[in-house]
Amino acid sequence: MLTRSFCRRVVFQPRLLALYISPSTTQHYHTSSYRHYTTTTSSPSTSQNIHNPQSAMSEEAKYELLYWPGLPGRGEFVRLALEASKTPYKDTTNSDRSKVPTLVSLIRPSADSKDPPNLCPPILRTPSGLLISQTPNILLYLGDHLSIAPKNDDKYLVHQYALTALDLTNEAHNVHHPVAHMSYYADQKSEAFTASREFRRDRIPKFFGHFDKIVKYNAGKHAGTKYLVGENITYADTTVWQAVDGVTYAFPKRVKELKESGEYDALFKWWEGVKGEEWMVGYVESGRRLKYGDGIFRYYEELDVDE
């Protein structure tokens, strides 16, 4: 099983990259992920087993997402913003594994490359040909260009909430890689266990409590709204939603406890509401939503144990 901080390792190891592109390796990767997936109780829910390489969304696509294929990762924050705004896009490496070298050429550009250097994916190519990376930067761009963020000062709230969800995402990643990003999980298991105790005990409740307050705050300002900012869906909703979904996948027991405490009812109700939105249901049914694996959000039974 590949348990190292996988995407980073791929970047630096050409042999692994070749393996990664091969369908047999991909199958192995999916199989191990599926085992993790089925052991969870509370649903991860919406992830699907098979990615549809020829998605309808890629027709007429003017946006192109470049990300490591076969797992949601940080690419999912971009996908969800595009999906929620019903924007056709091409998920290049998932449509065609042989395009992974294209992605690698963007993060290891040749001296004569016309593109600006990007450190790592996700990377978005926009309709105007702009090539940008850094997840919150991509979301900011999409907020400006699509119906996924307000144009007034509320856009700063949207970005603030999305950044907070991405902070949670980074913390969730650092639980299984607390010492070194390029090393195997197996080589930092005891530190990961220590990190998981604090994450479970303090950090998940702190973030979930904060998101719960956001739901209530916006409901207080806009009676009947189903969203985090204003009365329309924004990338704050999609980004917080994905962070909560990922943490639920990685720490199902802890999230179940929090749910049953009744202290986060507003958050979980909001989360269910977004999950049931027509665009989300369509996205999941399309097969474009990838299942979790050895990415940012990972399920290790030994990291989700009671005190």
Ligand X SMILES: N[C@@H](CCC(=O)N[C@@H](CS)C(=O)NCC(=O)O)C(=O)O
Q: Distance between CA 31 and CA 288 in Å, rounded?
A: 18
Nearer to ligand X (CB atom), residue 137 or residue 190: 137
Least distance to ligand X, CB of residue 243, Å = 12
**DSSP calls for 60-124:** T--EEEE--TTS-TTHHHHHHHHHHTT--EEEHHHH-GGGHHHHHHHHS--TT-SSPP-SSS-EE
The backbone region for 267, taken as left when phi is positive above 0, alpha when psi lies in -120 to 50, beta otherwise, is: alpha
Contacts of 106 (CB under 8 A, 6+ apart): 66, 115, 118, 121, 123, 131
Would you tell me the crossing angle of helices 278-286 and 75-84 to the nearest 10 degrees? 120
Least distance to ligand X, CB of residue 68, Å = 6
Closest by Cα among 83, 76, 77 to 57: 83
Nearer to ligand X (CB atom), residue 82 or residue 258: 82
Nearer to ligand X (CB atom), residue 90 or residue 177: 177
Tally of residues, the chain: 307
Least distance to ligand X, CB of residue 254, Å = 23
Nearer to ligand X (CB atom), residue 71 or residue 267: 71
Least distance to ligand X, CB of residue 139, Å = 9
Nearer to ligand X (CB atom), residue 20 or residue 268: 20
What does the binding site for ligand X look like in residue numbers (CB under 6 A)?
Answer: 7-8, 11, 73-74, 120-122, 134-135
Least distance to ligand X, CB of residue 162, Å = 11
Q: Which two tokens stand for residue 168?
A: 């949670």
Least distance to ligand X, CB of residue 31, Å = 21
Least distance to ligand X, CB of residue 306, Å = 30
Neighbours of 262 (CB within 10 A): 8
- Across the beta sheet with 63-66, the strand order is 89-91, 63-66, 123-125, 131-133
Nearer to ligand X (CB atom), residue 5 or residue 234: 5
Nearer to ligand X (CB atom), residue 74 or residue 125: 74
Phi/psi for 125 (5° steps) reads: -100, 125
Q: Which two tokens stand for residue 140?
A: 């900011």
Nearer to ligand X (CB atom), residue 11 or residue 228: 11
Least distance to ligand X, CB of residue 163, Å = 10
Q: Distance between CA 289 and CA 280 in Å, rounded?
A: 9
Helix %, strand %, coil % of the chain (to 5): 60, 5, 35
